[in-house]
Amino acid sequence: MHKPQSAPTLVTRARALAVALAVITSPLPAGCAEEEPGCVPEAAAAQPLSGAYLDQARALADSWIKRHGAAGLKWNWEEAVLLNGVLALYDATGEARYLDYARTYVEHHLKAGYALNTSDTVAPAAAAAELYRRTCDLRYRSVIYEVYDYLTIKAPRTKEGGINHLGPLMKSIPQLWIDSLYMFGQPMLRGGRYTREPAMEQLVADQLEIFSKVLQDDGDGLYRHASINGTLVPDDDTYWARGNSWALITGAELLGDGAGSYPGLRARFDRQAAAILGQQVAGQDLWYTVLSAKPTYIETAGSALIVAGLARGLRRGLIDPTKRALVDRAAAALLKTIVTRSGALTVAGTSVGTMPGSFAYYANVPQQDDVPYGVGAVLLALVEIQRLAASQ
């Protein structure tokens, strides 16, 4: 699709393009592309997917878009997950309104400006990567390189070499949060794929290994939420579901779509996926907000991202196909989280932003409806389960 780059080093290009971003964007009106020479935009799929799960995803996305203008969304991780879901729907359907929604969002922030100073603030660059794939617009490519520049040069590291989740804002207290794997993993895996820069994929693989060595339990195979200044939080066998979903879906994308071979990471993925399937709640077929036999509450975003990761893993041959029935049941249960509120279709049961804490803390994090990352997570799951059905 895209012509490979040639230059001294990727870091050199990252810094040059980050500086060039303001030069490229400022004289151009919104939507005016300066295309990369030799780059061929990837068209929408000639044969779009169809099916009941996709119909539900389309209705949910259209309801959100009708009520929430793209230019009003913040440049942050919550909105990034939403945009990932909307763009996954575009990939599946080829319907231009979903690509246009993402374009409006990114164009707004290119004009207004944005900060890259935590893992959460690099997450929206995944949308810029998808726009670059479809347009070859140099402005979108510049965002990808700017994120790489932040991750490789500016972001502080822990003693293990892991990227500090809170970046320069908390440089004095090194922190690995499992959330980071998805937040920087999505823009780097997609950006690396579309710019033909294997160093971006390798960055994600290296970080996944570091995070796994620190946060993945050797016995359970599940991940703790964080390591703060060298101390695990939680310090017991309390495993936050959404945190584990961040790791699962990142592993599924790296191992299923990446060009590299990572046998050590594959073994870690296998252990985690098996453990997650073992914690599926009988009779409800989704997952508690803490992956445990001790009841808390079913949490929508974590469950949806788990479904997306497992469906991707099944489709890519990473997960035993005999587990398909469990994933199908989870997908059917996930449909029940899509509800009508005040005449609008939305997603219920998403826990609000969650800090590293104790079992009691996770169990008491409140839930809300119509949360952007809850809607985005459900969209991702519905698209992945429809792709899985189409691949059989």
Domains of the chain: which residue ranges? 10-42+49-391
DSSP class of residue 71?
A: G
As a whole number, mean pLDDT of residues 218-224 equals 96
As a whole number, mean pLDDT of residues 61-86 equals 98
As a whole number, mean pLDDT of residues 368-390 equals 97
Residue written as token pair 């990227």: 163
Question: Residue 259 — very low, low, confident or very high, per pLDDT cuts 50/70/90?
Answer: low
pLDDT score, position 19:
46
pLDDT score, position 2:
37
pLDDT score, position 244:
98
Residue 85 has pLDDT above 90, yes or no: yes
As a whole number, mean pLDDT of residues 257-269 equals 86
As a whole number, mean pLDDT of residues 120-129 equals 98
Q: Which amino acid is at 301?
A: A
Question: Residue 25 — very low, low, confident or very high, per pLDDT cuts 50/70/90?
Answer: very low
Give pTM, 2 decimals. 0.92
Residue written as token pair 């707004």: 108
Question: Residue 33 — very low, low, confident or very high, per pLDDT cuts 50/70/90?
Answer: low
Alpha-helix residue ranges (DSSP H) falling in the chain: 10-25, 52-67, 77-93, 96-112, 119-122, 125-135, 138-149, 179-195, 198-215, 241-257, 263-278, 300-315, 324-334, 359-363, 372-391
Hey, CA dihedral for 115, 121, 127, 130, is it positive or negative?
A: positive
CA nearest 304: which of 257, 246, 364?
246
Which of the two residues, 114 and 30, has the higher pLDDT score? Answer: 114
Check: CB of residue 323 under 8 Å from CB of residue 310: yes
Q: Which of 19-23, 84-88, 159-163, 234-238 has the lowest mean pLDDT?
A: 19-23
pLDDT score, position 104:
98
Residue 242 has pLDDT above 90, yes or no: yes
Check: CB of residue 217 under 8 Å from CB of residue 227: no
CATH class of the region 10-42+49-391: mainly alpha
